[in-house]
Amino acid sequence: MSATEAAQYAHILTEALPYIQRYSGKTIVIKYGGNAMTDETLKKSFARDVVLLKQVGINPVIVHGGGPQIGSVLEKIGKESRFIEGMRVTDSETMDIVQMVLGGLVNKQIVSDINQAGGRAIGLTGKDGDLIIAEKLHLKSKEVDSLPSEIIDLGHVGTVKKINAGIVKLLDNEKYIPVIAPVGVGEDGTSYNINADLVAGEIAAVLGAERLLLLTNTSGVLDKQGKLLTGLNHQKIKALTDDGTIQGGMLPKLQCALDAVDAGTESSCIIDGRVPHAVLLELLTDEGVGTLVRK
């Protein structure tokens, strides 16, 4: 290693120190999805990032998705995936697949990756310890202004009614890293498939998390010239939505980020999960790598 390279390494480490001190003992909720969950190199770098955070006294809580993996299994058994307004129509048979893939295949692979990197991860679904109490999501469609709204039945698609965060706090205190699949349970015992962004936001709010990180397959919120925007709040997001800068799938992610900060999370950030070590770059460097959302 040359003297220049050594100086660069030292600068990086000392730059991280005030952020390590700031976040020590605090909870960081990370929604893990997209390419970061399917690319082998990114999976390993994410696992090492999470273990490093825990090692320096920060409490990461992982909430993961798994849409592509669910779609792949459904295709193998000859069942077509149907989506309405971006949400998977989930009948009873599909719900069985969702639970198998999210709670089994995907969840345990993430747990294994973190443990292989030297951490101590424990996998959960929202059904464990009644962590996520859910209720059926009622989606309304209104095609003609003069007609009443039509209720669309998405099957076992739910929304969060209540988070019982005691089990997550217990795992944090015992130096474990919780890895949570977004499957909730109704008060009647019915299982529900819930959007992972929504679950991550609700868990961040209940835990009083310092930060909510939403890993995506984009750089963050971009302006019309393709430049990354950050430091957003309600007013700026409304203006960007009104002029068409923000649209499509970014809208529900930003709403999730806003809901979390409104409920007490210090800040939320939408970051590019395709960037190796994106979590560390966002949390422990001056520049960061995503779109920061504040109240």
* Alpha helix ranges (H) inside 24-106: 40-55, 67-76, 92-100
Residue bearing tokens 């984009």: 218
The closest of 30, 50, 24, 42 to 213, measured between CA atoms, is: 30
Hey, where are the domains in the chain? 25-286
Per-residue pLDDT of the chain (295 residues; tens, 9 = 90+): 777 777 777 877 888 999 999 999 999 999 998 778 888 999 999 999 999 999 999 999 999 999 889 999 999 999 888 888 778 888 899 999 999 999 999 999 999 999 999 999 999 999 999 999 999 998 776 554 544 556 778 889 999 999 998 999 999 889 999 999 999 999 999 999 999 999 999 999 999 999 999 998 888 888 888 888 888 988 998 898 888 888 877 888 898 899 999 988 999 999 998 999 999 999 998 877 889 998 8
Quick one: angle between helices 166-173 and 196-207, nearest 10?
A: 70
Helix (H) or strand (E) holding 88: strand 87-88
Q: Which two tokens stand for residue 99?
A: 């639970």
What pLDDT digit, counting tens, does each position of 226-256 carry? Answer: 888 888 988 998 898 888 888 877 888 898 8
Dist CA 273 CA 46 (whole Å): 9
- CB of 200 within 8 A of CB of 271? no
Dist CA 113 CA 97 (whole Å): 22
- CB of 200 within 8 A of CB of 31? yes
Number of helices (H) and strands (E) in the chain: give both, helices first.
Answer: 10, 15
| CATH class for the domain made up of 25-286 | alpha beta
Dist CA 99 CA 85 (whole Å): 22
Dist CA 15 CA 205 (whole Å): 28
The closest of 201, 34, 28, 52 to 106, measured between CA atoms, is: 34
pTM higher than 0.75 for the full model? yes
What pLDDT digit, counting tens, does each position of 169-218 carry? Answer: 999 889 999 999 999 999 999 999 999 999 999 999 999 999 999 998 88
